[in-house]
Structure 1
């Protein structure tokens, strides 16, 4: 165990300054412009950020400072699997998405909308899309082009919703690639929870953008409970306004391959982003979560906690966390944590935290990453109190995930997901079949 602290369309065009300002005025305070994505070049003359502090992977790291963004897929090289941002992803499985074939296939959608919430669609040429953060890789750019517009959820300013906004997205087959785009706009000083619940069978690439108005409090819960064989790639973007709070909880359980890239940008001071995730990979499943938090304004906070469990031959999880603190981001507080619990032999967890600090005037910054097996002492303690071995194992795993699952502001959904996790535990080999000292398997 290791630990370290410290429908097909033309591409969208980028809005001009006046147009972007007009789009932002409904959500943000005067003087705050629309977020058009992160800078795409490193600090001048360095090939990287001046004075950056970076660790967590071999050079080149694919760090945020070197990140390129574009709405044109052709601006990105054809993916070979040797690129830093793709080296963990099984190319054979993701290739149907990367081929970028246009498709009219769609996921079926069921909605539950509280009073006051507007659900609409916009075309690919709508100015709203031009003002969103740009794609960070070829797949995300293909999604923006092929989605043919977006589904838009609008929550008005000052709204206090009486229940979550729920979009249940279900795949009905994996023969055709499905492209999709969802935008969530939450007005200033509103409070909303939005649930995206993915299920069924599909080959799907979806973009999600959440625009959090000044002083708003927004929770996005994304559940990947796909059927076996499903493939899901996606880019999730959050633009956090002044003194706003954005909470994102990602739960990945099903599918053959799931690869999600989550990004956070701040438009002004006082923003908070809390990114949490739970993933459970079974035999042959590949689950990959990449995060990028760009601290570019003063006095903002980010906290990242992702926990995963793996069981079965060739179960593979990947977590890559990138946090960049730019020179202007004084007063930043940030921490990222990744924990992985390996339940059987033959499973592999890759964990890569990266932290780049370009100013010394911060409150705190650090990260931690660890991967290991069951805590034998915990199991022995529970068994010594008369709890049978299988129940003890379930209690340990439930405790491992509980602090993240409890962040979901929808109790019925949290209970459902924890039940799914416990069902997966039933597929584990008996505790007595695993390698533990005999003394630790017998109650005292």
Structure 2
């Protein structure tokens, strides 16, 4: 079937009862329903609110501060639609915080990427979103729809300087196979708050990849739910926090249908005074979600003194009739045994450290499965290492 707002509401009617938990704030499109955060709220306690530069307050949004360039694969349709388009909200996204609600109301239009039914796209469709400055707040909205039995890769690349709040909706209809890559390649002064929501249909597959290297403050809230049994989502992420940089990823997988799967793997490295990475993972297995499989993992590699990594996995289980569920989290420094092994074979310490970091990320880079990105990501890791850790040796 084709996923619509009405079919989503019907499919989820019996499976999305209200869960009483601080991890699940009430959603609303009404900005007034979301209080200005103070930092004492659970969902905001790690975020340096002053560095949001007014996104969570009442500072007005402007226009003309973003430029979108499109390089679409053959057969993939990319178009601009108005704020009143029925495609907005088709994923079931409801703003869970004030920033997302403000961006929803302020975005003048939406960029829609549509992969037609049964179409298999050769190559990736790339949207490059460029910021032109940080003096004016920007609001954005993107909708990606993979119609039934289609297959495609969509890359969202963010660059330049901006103070941006955006909502990204992803709809994967029955039997479709979609890869979405969100690359934060911002300038050092950029601020980006993104709310991303995915709806996965029956026997559909979504691979969602988040790559965050640039920006002053980047916070991404990514959620996924299912519109039918047999759906699968894989969430992969890699990030590198430098001195003074705040990178925060919050993920929520809501198993709203039986026989569904989810796998979350995020890896990050930190270097430099004041570098801060936050990863919050949560999986909710509802009563209806029998026979599901889920696993979430976060690993952080601390390269220098003065860094901080917060890693909080959560698992909420309402039925024991499942195939498997688990999570893992770790924050650590270099493995001394690995360094000793490499140095005992005549490899200098700086080169040994570089090899360890590349080994830390390489298995994840291969899992992304987008050939055009592998070399770029490897070179970006090399450039990040050159900033601080190699200079300090």
TM-score, scaled relative to structure 1? 0.84
1:281 to 2:241 alignment: yes
| Matches of 1:81 and 1:31, distance apart in 2 | 37
Greater shift, 143-152 or 243-252, is seen at 143-152
Structure with the greater alpha carbon radius of gyration: 1
| Matches of 1:226 and 1:120, distance apart in 2 | 24
Pairing partner for 2:85 from 121, 126, 132: 126
| Matches of 2:42 and 2:326, distance apart in 1 | 23
Relative contact order higher in (CA < 8 Å, ≥ 6 apart): 1
| Matches of 1:119 and 1:341, distance apart in 2 | 39
1:27–1:188 CA contact under 8 A, matched in 2: no
**What is the CA deviation profile of residues 216-275 of structure 1, one whole-angstrom value per residue up to 9, with x for unaligned ones?**
100000100101110000001110000000001100000000000000010000000000
- Corresponding position of 1:260: 220
| Matches of 1:409 and 1:423, distance apart in 2 | 22
1:94 to 2:52 alignment: yes
- Corresponding position of 2:339: 379
**1:226-241 matched pairs, under 5 angstroms:** 226-241=186-201
**1:37-436 matched pairs, under 5 angstroms:** 39=16, 41-42=18-19, 48=20, 62-64=22-24, 67-100=25-58, 101-131=60-90, 132-430=92-390, 433=393
| Matches of 1:216 and 1:227, distance apart in 2 | 35
- Corresponding position of 1:442: none
Once the two structures are TM-superposed, the CA of residue 96 in structure 1 deviates from its matched residue by 1.8
| Matches of 1:104 and 1:216, distance apart in 2 | 35
Cα 1:363–1:195 change in 2 (3 A) is same
1:26 to 2:41 alignment: no
* Cα RMSD, aligned residues only: 1.9
Cα 1:233–1:32 change in 2 (3 A) is closer
| Matches of 2:120 and 2:96, distance apart in 1 | 33
| Matches of 1:165 and 1:35, distance apart in 2 | 30
**What is the CA deviation profile of residues 325-373 of structure 1, one whole-angstrom value per residue up to 9, with x for unaligned ones?**
0000000100000000000110000001110000010000010000000
Structure with the larger strand share? 2
| Matches of 1:77 and 1:432, distance apart in 2 | 44
**What is the CA deviation profile of residues 293-335 of structure 1, one whole-angstrom value per residue up to 9, with x for unaligned ones?**
0001100000000001000111000000010000000001000
Once the two structures are TM-superposed, the CA of residue 36 in structure 1 deviates from its matched residue by 8.2
1:275–1:305 CA contact under 8 A, matched in 2: yes
| Matches of 1:176 and 1:34, distance apart in 2 | 40
Instruction: Look up the SS of the partner of 1:97 in the other structure.
Output: coil
* Structure 1: unaligned runs, 5 residues or longer: 1-24, 43-47, 49-60, 434-444
Once the two structures are TM-superposed, the CA of residue 68 in structure 1 deviates from its matched residue by 0.8
* Structure 2: unaligned runs, 5 residues or longer: none
1:27–1:186 CA contact under 8 A, matched in 2: no
**What is the CA deviation profile of residues 149-204 of structure 1, one whole-angstrom value per residue up to 9, with x for unaligned ones?**
31101110101111101001111111111100000011101100000011111111
| Matches of 1:206 and 1:363, distance apart in 2 | 36
| Matches of 2:120 and 2:390, distance apart in 1 | 48
Cα 1:370–1:211 change in 2 (3 A) is same
- Corresponding position of 1:55: none
Cα 1:198–1:126 change in 2 (3 A) is same
Once the two structures are TM-superposed, the CA of residue 107 in structure 1 deviates from its matched residue by 1.4
| Matches of 2:16 and 2:319, distance apart in 1 | 17
Once the two structures are TM-superposed, the CA of residue 39 in structure 1 deviates from its matched residue by 4.4
